[in-house]
Structure 1
């Protein structure tokens, strides 16, 4: 395969991905003879979704692990699939119907569900198509959808089993309620953001006429459902009032004054109203004190019949205004202070979420099951025993904290799209939970009920079906033992590792552990690798409203500024927001976003995967890793031009004379191979990316290739043959090492390099991953490492070569530094004067020094002459470049540069000394200024030393 002159990622990506997929390279292994099985589950993205930076980051890490284990020869399965996303999908389809002036109620449930399936088939696979652009390699032939018939069956079987075990029940409890969607929603679907509001102070008169209590509240409309006022039991101001009654303003009711330690004596007035039907904390208080629960809102957040007649039918916020006005008239309204408060809003609708008392289905989290332990206890034991390990380990605390303070899980949603709850009701409220209507009828007959049965209209929370993902996707069959299950279950349950963000440890990770352990008896996965969340370069959360969202596909393909502005402002209702976002976008990307290609983006993601909660995405890294890909491409072209059609040492009978430089690069390669094994085992993708970068850019391209040029120009036939052999075989191994992170460019280059390195195959992704050799002294056995390394006979030999070549590099670097400090033109070759006890090193390495340090000669002297030229110390040697200097001109040049640097240092100190700058500037800008100051100072010291020598 002829290699193009320049690296074009778009062409390579378009060609290789369909080749991989069509050839079936991604398919799971089922070879029972293999000892190792590796499985990873794709966190199922919403079927409505499109690829965002979080997906791109998460999936890059999963794909790197999958490709690594596939190349290691393990049976490998990356199990893909999508989530039906109940709320999100129903909203999308309802909006389409709204455009046609049709509601879902006009169609009826059955016809509406048909419309949803039509939409899913038409445009529901957008995100999986985008995943392919990212180079991901899951087994697409096993793609699952949470509403697939087989998965639906597993959901039903699980629900019925848990109900029969007493672990699922129906009851009236407080839940997050979206008044626009008319459904309960999970905490994850509620956005808590700080907003401007008011703290309203209201008088509650004591019924005996002895005074009043002042209550402070942010939601005065809920006072219509108050059942008590509450004080701290040790608050001296109110102790004497505990047990008395107050008259509830605007209502014809009296309510008690109770004591509870929940009250914060220091906040507000120290008196709290209690509304159990409309506040989660009050609900807990109500249960502790056996208080009644009065709901005063309808499901669309209007005042209902349990409130005074004058407010009935009013919207909650209109009622708030009217109640405040009426309190003022009654002389009971004291004041309304401005107050910052957290307002819960539905992430899909933007409306304020209302705690609402409704009939819902729940999973009992703390009730003992048939094994005598609750599902929560089982989940805690899985981690405590070490069966499941968290990486980093500190996330165990988050997992344990949530499970130890867990509440029963509301699993019902008032939607049409989703897994319909398998419960049927009789006319008097009888409940029959069954796999289907026929079984429900049988249960009803046994119970002596012969009337009509109506199925529950609600569906299950999408987190319920996704909690079964580890075994439902493997086609688990209820009622069969583990040994009777299919081969995929036996090989890939538990899976090897779950890669996920810390934000869903509660919602998904813990629930998968609970459900999988309880239903199958197996843990769902052995390791949980928890990564941070991608934020912008300033550390801010990426959001449409801020206009800082980046699309991974735009980074891969590039996008012009006009299209980027249109994309970011599309759909914004407020023109001022659109104007602000456009201004920000044009400032950050005046020429749009260039095309970086998939490999550069993946390398960036991998390099950012450091332990921590937040990951700042810096686009300059994409640019740097695009340059890295170019570097690798050009180095490969150099190797091919110098090795194709020539003897590259494949004939083992011909002599090979390896140099210290050859041994050095081979040892560096082996060190990196060992590091990569360690980094993948520890899920340190950032360290793996750094190791590959250092090996390719610094070791191979910047040093070995340049040193190899000298060897090929000056060496004998055996030396040149050994150099070419080392060039191609080290490069081929590098490509395999880097493939899991940058799959496209390594595949393209490997097909040109592999034949020269005596490697053969249809794809690099099925080639063996380089294995680290054992480090030991003396001779090495031939079965201990690849045959092409057998020429390096002992570790002692390699260590000595490493020492010598590291010294050579230090000498060259020192010469370059001297040239730079003396402002010597790159075209000018100058003599090197050396005072050293190790003359042999300089004599042996003179050809390298002449070429890489641009020297005319190397002279070994007993002592260096007195000169104004700077001197550099390297090991036991003193180095000086013999250059005739115009002392006056050099003084003038140094004085100007010292003055410039001093001025820069003064400006940098002024910035960093400005408290306003340090407080307001992004952290990255402040850090950059500190770095500049440090660099200026170090350079200034050097120049001042040189200037002192000149007198």
Structure 2
């Protein structure tokens, strides 16, 4: 028996209930073995994460697509899981330890990792429950984690294979080093902030009596980081800069250290900037690193002046003065650092060139430095300034791995939507740098590499076995394989009965050494989180087990949806690993959406206090309303401005549908038993069947192009306007008579069918309310989530649908005219039509009651209108004349409209002038410019409306 719908729509009441039902009944699992596969993998959120507004957008779009394809009969799989988030997770656990006056180093590595697993079991992954609240129909039975044993197996295999193929190697290069976390971090984890800083000008004396053509015996360099001069290795000038041509190849004597460093020619030095001389510190600056390599400095020769905590250490040449050793790079806790001491000593010794300004009296004033606003890199988690640091790390040859993805996108084998992102993709991929994949952490996939001492060729090494301080590397999937490789190496080097063993560290002095025992130790580093998540499209499906049925059916994936901000950090890496490991693309299409911004267009940030909590919006308006907002506002990658009023509006849309269903239920309209449209004779019924078919086509076209906004708008307009506002009004008279009459029986069947089609088409966007109404309107054999996508398969009379469209057009036009002239909406007006079209003639004859009830026009006379003031309304090509004598005060109404028109014209002209002024657009705040544009659009619309209203009065 059908359950009566409650008067009030309450999202909270239905959401938890239906989600639990879907999950308990395995509604999210692919179970159509003979159907075409549709596969989507979610960008795995951090195990430490919580649902933010970006997740809400990203996962809403994915759920819309997967529910849509499931309804279309595909074997839909949405893979869900979490990323182990190496840095973030280790930080969370260490902070909890600090709160208990404990720390990581009080434990062995294994004991600490155990504590991380304990945290994960108790507190990690809260976001999965939040994704459920959003309505995400993920296959939770196959939930993945990047540290699961099968995933670790995939990660280790990939590392070993890349190494064996010469695509992964250990190298000394500069990395983004976070001195607080004491690890390398990726570019994605670096936030550039503009902060107040200084620009110091320094004298570097020329050596050996050299002078510039102007007589100076020094070069002037400028820097924002004077402390790094302790590790300077050269001064660069532009080869075309005639001022310095005579000193290229000569030397300067570096102040404070006494180091002789060459003057080199390199186009990195810009003659137009400052003095044209640039200090080169290849061990602490990314640009300088490249200059240093061009100058012939091998990375192993580049000087490093800082330790892992950014304290000054001695350089390889031993020339850093003792007073600097151990100092932090910056001033902290009130204690001067290396920067302050370098500046002080340079000033004392006459090597600091003062910055000169004039005070209000015109007198010159000397300053140590020139104040500057400096773009400075900070670690997004450690919160300290990032130090470019020269260290040994593991790298992947990304340039080689990028070749096939570039080819796939260029040929169209992989589609990027919107296509505008292709240019950015090619530019980055064609200039890609080696990918640093090692991190100095304990939590993560430990690098499967073991180190051991090398063997001298002549047997005269450091000990009786001929071992040297050279390090050799053994990369293997397991310790056993590493030991076997090591044994083979040492035996081939002439050490008979070599017995390599693995120790906890390279300084394992406590173990008793026996004859031919050789100590190996595993690399302590772990792999970058992006390395493991790059395997997500196939490792989640069972790879490297090639016989996995899931892998065979669901790879390549169909689609990936992600924010554009991780195009290179995740999406591109998945392309690389897909082609490398699987020999083919990871998915057919990559859809990149924009960011969700604050209402004023600003980027959301906690520091600005403009972050929006999606869970709060769900609590207030329901998940369906938030989801619909996200889909309706997503327009091919453009950023979305948060607008809570629109979320509220979509909650009202849900209420409108709820009330329409209550109306249907109260008139005996319930669940349909047919996917095909019922037979219909009445014009209104034929019209709604045709509109359903049009809406289905419009949604399918939009979804094929991944136009989420167009698809959402299609079902919104059909539901609100066509079905609720028009169709239900058109059929009301049918139920005023005999309930068992053929028209009433037909109308109940058609209305129930049309409402069912709405629920199916709307389900991907608003799954909760649609599933609730699906079951409340009648007994069902299956859940809506696995229903069949609409296939009306009906032919309708164009004559009937044209008639209804004509009545709607006439009603809309009449209502608008009444509103413009201040005539009461319910006022009945006489109307004259001098030369009716064929559709007008037929409709007036057959549907005069509908015209009177909806358009409030009666009588409608075919013929000329009497003379006098009147207004015109149109329906199609027909023009109706509606006399206004005695209806409105013509003169007063004209005066009112003319005043309002003049005011809007004046405002539109003023706003147009302001917006056309380049100075306004450049200097005004973005929100002020946006408001001016909105106001201009409003007043321009008012001018058009008021002009039309005056024209109606004649």
Q: Indicate whether 1:301 and 2:310 are aligned.
A: yes
Structure 1 range deviating more: 448-457 or 412-421 = 448-457
Partners of 2:269 and 2:328 lie apart in 1 by: 30
Shift of residue 738 of structure 1?
1.0
Asked if structure 1 preserves the Cα contact closer than 8 Å seen for 2:871 and 2:884, the reply is no
The answer to whether 1:743 aligns with 2:810 is no
Distance 1:140 1:64, change over 3 A: same
Q: Which residue of 1 aligns with 2:339?
A: 320
Q: CA shift at 1:656, angstroms? A: 6.4
Name the CA distance, whole Å, in 1 between partners of 2:622 and 2:429: 42
Show the 5 A alignment for 1:168-207. Answer: 168-207=168-207
> Could you tell me the TM-score, scaled by structure 2's length?
0.87
Secondary structure in 1 aligned to 2:310?
coil
**Offset at residue 60 of structure 1 (A):** 0.5
Which whole-Å CA distance do the structure 2 matches of 1:140 and 1:924 have between them?
Answer: 43
Corresponding residue of 1:574: none
Residue of structure 2 equivalent to 1:569: none
Aligned-pair CA distance for 1:928 = 2.0
2: CA distance between counterparts of 1:162 and 1:85? 23
Specify the SS of the correspondent of 1:643. Answer: coil
Residue 470 of structure 1: CA displacement? 1.4
Choose the corresponding residue for 1:281, options 287, 301, 312.
Answer: 287
Aligned partners of 2:256, 2:409: CA distance in 1, in Å?
53
TM-score normalized by the length of structure 1: 0.87
Paired residue secondary structure (1:175): strand
Matches within 5 A, 1:800-949: 800-838=799-837, 839-855=841-857, 857-885=858-886, 889-896=889-896, 898-900=898-900, 902-903=902-903, 906=906, 909-910=909-910, 913=913, 919-920=924-925, 922=927, 923-945=929-951, 949=954
**Cα displacement (A) at 1:188:** 0.6
Alignment of 1:704 onto 2:704: no
Structure 1 contact 56–134 (Cα < 8 Å) conserved: yes
Q: Shift of residue 910 of structure 1?
A: 4.6
Note closer, same or farther for the CA distance 1:815–1:911 as it changes in structure 2 (3 Å cut).
closer
Q: Deviations over 1:111-146 (max 9, x none)?
A: 111111111011112000000000001100000100
2:666 to 634, 638, 641: 641
Q: Give the Cα separation in 2 of the matches to 1:612 and 1:95.
A: 37
Q: CA separation in 2, counterparts of 1:822 and 1:52?
A: 47
Relative distance call for 1:519 and 1:389 in structure 2 (3 A) is same
Partner of 1:21: 23
> In the alignment, which of 378, 390, 415 is matched to residue 441 of structure 2?
415
| Structure 1 residue 459, shift from structure 2 partner | 0.8
Specify the alignment match of 1:467 in structure 2.
534
**How far is the alpha carbon of 1:913 from its aligned partner?**
4.8
**Within-5 A mapping of 1:153-302:** 153-207=153-207, 208-210=209-211, 211=216, 212-291=218-297, 292-302=301-311
Residue in 2 that maps onto 1:572: none
Q: 1:117-128 counterparts in 2 under 5 A?
A: 117-128=117-128
Instruction: Report the CA distance shift for 1:253/1:693 in structure 2 as closer, same or farther (over 3 A).
Output: same
The alpha carbon displacement at 1:890 in A equals 4.7
Whole-Å separation in 2 of the counterparts to 1:940 and 1:679 = 35
* Residue range with higher mean Cα deviation, 36-45 or 282-291: 282-291
- Corresponding residue number in structure 2 for 1:769: 789
**Contact map agreement 1:425 1:431 (CA 8 A) in 2:** yes
Unaligned runs of 5+ in 1: 367-373, 558-594, 774-784
Matched ranges for 1:49-64 at <5 A: 49-64=49-64
Match of 2:116 in 1: 116
Secondary structure at 1:47 match in 2:
coil
Deviation at 1:651, TM superposition (A): 15
- 1:600 corresponds in structure 2 to 625
The corresponding residue for 2:618 is 556
Match of 1:514 among 576, 580, 595: 576
Higher mean C-alpha displacement, 337-346 vs 865-874: 865-874
Moved more, 602-611 or 393-402: 393-402
Q: 1:532 aligns with which of 588, 594, 615?
A: 594
**Is the 1:228–1:273 Cα contact (8 Å) retained in structure 2?**
yes
Residue 650 of structure 1 contacts residue 725 of structure 1 at CA under 8 Å; is this kept in 2?
no
Partner of 1:395: 421
CA distance in 1, matches of 2:418, 2:391: 40
Task: Give the Cα separation in 2 of the matches to 1:213 and 1:426.
Answer: 47
How big is the shift at 1:150?
A: 1.0
The DSSP-based 3-state class of the residue aligned with 1:273 is: strand
Aligned residue for 2:621, secondary structure, equals coil
Q: CA deviation at 1:636?
A: 1.1
Aligned counterparts of 2:437 and 2:874: Cα–Cα separation in 1:
72
1:885–1:115 CA distance, 2 compared to 1 (3 A) = same
Contact 2:869 2:884 in 1 (8 A): no
C-alpha contact 1:493 1:522 (8 A) present in aligned 2: no
Distance (Å, rounded) in 1 between the aligned partners of 2:164 and 2:732: 76
Number of residue pairs matched? 867
Is residue 28–residue 75 contact of structure 1 (8 Å, CA) maintained in 2? yes
Moved more, 284-293 or 269-278: 284-293
* 1:523 to 2:579 alignment: no
Task: Report the secondary structure of 1:452's partner residue.
Answer: strand
Q: Is the 8 A contact 1:154 1:472 kept in 2?
A: yes
Q: Is residue 29–residue 77 contact of structure 1 (8 Å, CA) maintained in 2?
A: no
Say if 2:832 and 2:863, in contact at 8 Å, map to a contact too.
Answer: no
Equivalents in 2 of 1:467, 1:659: separation in Å?
58
SS in structure 1 of the partner of residue 242 of structure 2: coil
**Aligned-partner Cα distance in 1 for 2:597–2:821:** 44
Q: Which of 619, 622, 625 is 2:644 aligned to?
A: 619
CA deviations 1:224-266 (Å, max 9, x no partner) are 1111111111123322332221221222112111111222222
Query: Which sits farther off after the overlay, 294-303 or 606-615?
Result: 606-615
Going from structure 1 to structure 2, the CA distance change for 1:826 and 1:375 (only over 3 Å counts) comes to closer
Q: Does 1:496 align with 2:516?
A: no
Cα drift, residue 77 of structure 1: 0.8
Distance 1:346 1:656 in 2: 66
**1:670-690: CA deviations, max 9, x gaps?**
111112112222111111101
Q: CA deviation at 1:937?
A: 1.4
Q: Deviations over 1:484-506 (max 9, x none)?
A: x1100100111101101111111
Equivalent-residue separation in structure 1 for 2:564 and 2:225 (angstroms): 32
Structure 2: which 5+ runs fail to align?
Answer: 331-336, 356-368, 454-468, 491-497, 500-517
Offset of residue 806 of structure 1: 2.1
The C-alpha deviation readout for 1:253-288, integer Å capped at 9, x for no partner, is: 121111112222222222211111001111111111
CA distance in 2, matches of 1:107, 1:69: 50
Counterparts of 2:824 and 2:539 in 1: how far apart (Å)? 69
Distance 1:764 1:835, change over 3 A: same
User: 1:42-99: per-residue Cα shift (whole Å, max 9, x none)?
Assistant: 1110000000111110100111111111111111110100000000000000000001
Partner residue of 1:676?
699
Q: CA deviation at 1:836?
A: 3.1
Query: In the alignment, is residue 344 of structure 1 matched against residue 382 of structure 2?
Result: no
Cα separation, partners in 2 of 1:342 and 1:276, compared to 1, 3 Å: same
Matches within 5 A, 1:437-448: 437-448=479-490
SS in 1 for 2:482: helix
Shift of the 520–939 alpha-carbon distance from structure 1 to 2, 3 Å rule, reads closer
State the shift of 1:201 in Å: 1.6
